[in-house]
Structure 1
Amino acid sequence: MLSTRIERILLNPRLVLGLYVLLTIIVTFQHYFKGPTSYNNYLIFVKPYFNLLEGKNLYLPYPEYYDDTYKYSPVFALFMAPFALMPNWLGLLAWNALNNAVFYTAGRRLFPDVRRQLLFLLLCLIDMMTALHNSQANCLLVGLMLWTFINLENQKYGWAALCVALAALIKVYGIGIGLIFLFYPLPIRNGIIAFAWMALLAFSPLLVVSWVDFRMIYQGWFDIVRESATGIQLSLMGVLETWFGVAPTAKGIVQGIGMLLLLAPLAYFRAWREADYRRLYVASILIFVVIFNQMAESPTFIIAVAGFMFWFILYRRSTPLGWALFALAFIFTTLSATDLNPPAVRHAYFDVYKLKAVPMILAWVFIQSQLLLYPRWRARLRAAAEASAAEPEQAVLA
């Protein structure tokens, strides 16, 4: 519970904005001054633009540019052109700033009142920094997914279609948020607009490459995505393999069952127009795309944590388990990659047993149970949401 005085200090728009801006600058230059190995992920993002201009296969090793291999879409390589043309220090700063700007602005529109907006951004701050330290696209991705929902809620269907198309072409599973198009008027028309955006963007590399090179580059992307899908990291599949000895070859079955569970609540079609149902589904999707992604890494969890915190702020009062789930998420997911978690403990337990994923798995199971049994939960969810909406007149975490 936050006291009124602490609330007044922490839930201040200037403070939260200042934190996001300051941390973006500090973390950027911290890694820049450590040298290229410290911002290798950024180099993996920007250098393929030059390979694209030359019509090369983007998905081969290029040790003269970066370690590891590029795994994002050809569209993403073209999208990174403005950053690639900047000096590394400026491009890295601009890239991190873009990620945080999209996420921050989505957080500031996610709730109708300022205090819950700021609370959401503060609760996601540490996970945002984990993603920022890795210079990855996860803040941009979750920001686009949230903006898809926000635009749909505000009947800006064209913008929602563009956001989901961009999300999908950054990371394929970003298309998952497109499922919520079903809950709004004219879903077929809006879905067609989204796929039209996706097709237009998918063919955009033709602006700089020939048709032959275009086909070769997309084949390379398909091949590397298929190859990389063989690993198992911080995911439900990783937990099942480590804890229970489930064979890695069963990951397709696990993902299939997860997809069926995700889709099953759609049977409550009369609930599609209810705000509580839509919000639950958004939270569920954001967690789902991480815990059922066998290649999820620590920085990816900003997406799942954003989904959980969205649920927590709105619906923690719907169940006595709300605070227990929050404690597990904060200790085992959010703090797992920080210096508060000793490296010896991290390597011996967190890495081995995939503990970072466990709270998000438990949270998804609970949120999904609320969706699967939505008629029974409807009244409690509505009461929790109404209490959350009244919080600006009370203590935010009362």
Structure 2
Amino acid sequence: MLPARYSRVLLNPRFVAVVYTVLIVIVTAQHYLKGTINNYYIFAKPFFNLLEGKDLYLEYPQYYYDTYKYSPTFALFMGVFAVLPDWLGLLGWNLLNGVVLYTAGRRLFPDTNRSMLFLLLVLIDAMTAFHNSQANCLLVGLMLWVYINLENQKTAWAALCLMLALFIKIYGIGIGLLFLFYPTQLVRGVLWSALFGLALAFSPLLVTSWADFLMIYQGWFDIVRASATAVQLSLMGLLDAWFNLNVPKGPVQAAGLLLLLLPLVHWRFWRHPDYRRLYVSAILIFVVVFNQMAESPTFIIPVAGFVLWWMYYRRSTPLALPLFVLVALLTTLSATDLLPSSVRESVFDPYKLKVLPMILAWALIQIQLLFFPQWRERLEGVAGGLME
């Protein structure tokens, strides 16, 4: 795909690591100096409320604007950064996100060229997340590490990554479906997940009382339930914007989950590597497309799923190239300054165009999964090719 003289530089792991590091430092400095780090405060400052036994889910304008919606466990974890000076905590937080994403991408493919190209193709969406100090690069990295660890029979590590993803954002548990495809690891995976899940769930007791612990978890439950009423960049948001269909979110999500699970009828192919890769891509897209609360920085997750599919299976269908162009133009570049703000505000935002390519990509991957016995030979024929 790239001339050899360019690929030796652009697809060099050190070069890509330097690009990620330099951009993270620049983005961190830019937002710290401008004072636009409210999202970081939302993540970090609840640690101090946790220490004081306060309800994490009330408004604390002395710390940040908006409300905290993450788990008590996440608030405890963020104490590592909260106790540092703001500039250092923000830099450490963004670097952690970058390291987890980079290392997952580095191990995602059997050859270095594809690994580095994957990381370059998701870079713009990663930067959108970094600009907002979000946890999405960390989350997608952990979800990919679940798959990587299962492939390498590291069941306990896969379970730990799964539980960490869950306590960052609840829908991170979706990648746990992959355990079904590794029957020799399934029982151990469930046991390890339960062990790590309980340890993480009760970890706030290290710094708070039992009564405060129960109160804080009740607050988390209440705010998650209340937040579920909004509709943003999702299939439900697109239906509302395009067709004025204010459909109940529950039935749409249930129908999507049914479609996601339907290919499991091909149980004889669960151990097939192409089947597993398709499912990884489908899950990464599903958890955002059917999440009514999805925002622009969240799209590093489905874009990573799409790029994983495209890197392996772009030759499986002539639709791959136009779909790649749609993802680049409508999903990735729509969050950058290359798109005039007037166009974004008058067209892209009202009509939820950012989510459209992801819906189309998910539908295509689901078709390949549903008809996997018929697609298998074609998928096998293109999956092994190098990125020439």
Aligned to 2:162: 164
Aligned to 1:239: 238
Aligned to 2:198: 199
Q: 1:93 to 1:188 in 2, by over 3 A?
A: same
Aligned to 1:317: 315
- Unpaired segments ≥5 residues, structure 2: none
Q: Distance in 2 between matches of 1:386 and 1:53?
A: 52
SS state at 2:353 partner: coil
**Deviation of the 1:196 alpha carbon:** 1.8
Q: Distance in 2 between matches of 1:233 and 1:169?
A: 22
Candidates 109, 118, 124, aligned match of 1:111: 109
Q: Does 1:220 align with 2:219?
A: yes
Runs of 4+ in structure 1 displaced over 6 angstroms? none
Q: Distance in 1 between matches of 2:237 and 2:335?
A: 17
1:218-252 CA-partner distances (Å, limit 9, x unpaired): 0000000000000000000100111112114x211
Aligned to 1:72: 70
Q: Does 1:178 align with 2:176?
A: yes
Give the letter aligned to residue 112 of structure 1. P
1:349-397 CA-partner distances (Å, limit 9, x unpaired): 110000000000000000011001110110111001022xxx1xxxx2x
**Deviation of the 1:8 alpha carbon:** 2.6
Is contact 2:153-2:185 (8 Å) kept?
A: no
SS state at 2:180 partner: helix
Aligned to 2:268: 270
Q: Does 1:345 align with 2:360?
A: no
Q: Could you tell me the percent identity over the aligned residues?
A: 66
Q: Distance in 1 between matches of 2:76 and 2:271?
A: 38
Aligned to 2:23: 23
Aligned to 1:229: 228
1:96-144 CA-partner distances (Å, limit 9, x unpaired): 0000000000000001110000000000000000000000100000000
**Deviation of the 1:12 alpha carbon:** 1.9
Aligned to 2:133: 135
Aligned to 1:7: 7
Aligned to 1:362: 360
Aligned to 2:187: 188
1:118-177 CA-partner distances (Å, limit 9, x unpaired): 000000000000000000100000000000000000000000000000000000000000
Output the TM-score relative to the length of structure 2. 0.99
Q: Distance in 2 between matches of 1:5 and 1:354?
A: 40
Q: Does 1:288 align with 2:286?
A: yes
Q: Distance in 2 between matches of 1:361 and 1:345?
A: 22
Aligned to 2:252: 254
**Deviation of the 1:186 alpha carbon:** 3.4
Give the letter aligned to residue 287 of structure 1. I
Q: Distance in 2 between matches of 1:171 and 1:235?
A: 16
Give the letter aligned to residue 225 of structure 1. V
Q: Distance in 2 between matches of 1:9 and 1:97?
A: 23
Q: Distance in 1 between matches of 2:343 and 2:87?
A: 34
Is contact 2:179-2:189 (8 Å) kept?
A: yes
Q: Distance in 2 between matches of 1:6 and 1:131?
A: 28
SS state at 1:186 partner: helix
**Deviation of the 1:14 alpha carbon:** 2.0
Q: Distance in 1 between matches of 2:180 and 2:25?
A: 39
**Deviation of the 1:10 alpha carbon:** 1.6
For these two proteins, the number of residue pairs brought into alignment is 387
Give the letter aligned to residue 188 of structure 1. V
Q: Distance in 2 between matches of 1:74 and 1:14?
A: 36
Aligned to 1:97: 95
Q: Distance in 2 between matches of 1:82 and 1:186?
A: 33
**Deviation of the 1:191 alpha carbon:** 1.5
Q: Distance in 1 between matches of 2:325 and 2:89?
A: 37
Q: Distance in 1 between matches of 2:6 and 2:188?
A: 47
Q: Distance in 2 between matches of 1:199 and 1:267?
A: 32
Q: Distance in 1 between matches of 2:79 and 2:7?
A: 42
Aligned to 1:39: 37
Q: Distance in 2 between matches of 1:148 and 1:365?
A: 23
1:182-239 CA-partner distances (Å, limit 9, x unpaired): 0112313311211221111001001111111000000000000000000000000100
Give the letter aligned to residue 91 of structure 2. L
**Deviation of the 1:94 alpha carbon:** 0.2
Give the letter aligned to residue 32 of structure 2. Y
- Unpaired segments ≥5 residues, structure 1: none
1:324-359 CA-partner distances (Å, limit 9, x unpaired): 110000000000000000000000011000000000
Of 1-10 and 352-361, more deviation after overlay is shown by 1-10
**Deviation of the 1:267 alpha carbon:** 0.8
Q: Does 1:301 align with 2:299?
A: yes
1:276-305 CA-partner distances (Å, limit 9, x unpaired): 000000000000000000000000000000
